[in-house]
A and B are shown apart, each in its own frame.
Chain A
Amino acid sequence: MKKLYCVVFVLMVSLLLTGFSCDKYTKAGQLAKDFAATVLVAQQLEIQAYNGGYIEAASHTVIQTKFSQLADAGVGLDKAINQARNAQGAKAQLDAAASLLSDLSNNQITGIKDEKTRLAVQAAIVSCQTILDNIAAFAQ
């Protein structure tokens, strides 16, 4: 549960600090960085849960494969934001990342049998989704 609180706190800090940026490109870039960092936190949470024996090897492999795909999608998202100088040109990349997160949240982590671990990982993924939604909001 401590980890769950930490993830929620990280999310709140991320959202509060978003307001310090000035232009749309800077804001999109900041959110992209926050998105990447929050995915990293979620991944490390999952790895530690696996190392602690709370996640089976088969589920761990599937989840880490998704994180690897998410990293590729994230690099694509950063590139699209950089090229367009805002988030408006990154709709396809936003959709790809959102789809991977949704799959993780709705399908892959359901294989985690320990309920507390599943909830903690789910909370971290929800944080990622929230930040991604904020990037998408800048693309409107």
Chain B
Amino acid sequence: MNASDILKILSLIAAAEPAVLGYIKSLLENTQGMSGDQFLAEADGVWAQVKANAQQQLQATPAPAGPKA
């Protein structure tokens, strides 16, 4: 990989969604010195977010129309 490729990747990251950037940032900042318990506690927090997002989407999405009689 040359400097141009690296710059291309960096520009892609800069244009990335906040969620992706946040995830990369948390990986870089938090992975060292953490215990298994701490990792699992964070994982549970993320799962709660996934669950909440799904429920919000399911409530907000219009139900598909049923078959016409």
Seen from chain A, the residues whose Cβ lies within 8 Å of a Cβ on chain B are 2-3, 5-7, 9-10, 13-14, 17, 20-21, 23, 25-26, 28-30, 32-41, 43-45, 47-48, 50, 57-58, 60-61, 64-65, 67-68, 70-72, 74-75, 78, 81-82, 85
Contact = CB atoms under 8 A, between A and B. Distances in A.
A36 B17 contact: no
Given A30-B36, A65-B54, 11 more contacts: A6-B20, A17-B28, A20-B31, A23-B36, A30-B31, A37-B26, A40-B46, A43-B54, A44-B19, A57-B64, A81-B36
Nearest to A70: B50
B32 interface: yes
A40 B43 contact: no
Interface of B: 9, 12-13, 15-17, 19-20, 23-24, 26-28, 31-32, 34-40, 42-44, 46-51, 53-55, 57-58, 61-64
Contacts of A82: 36-37, 40
Contacts of A75: 44, 47
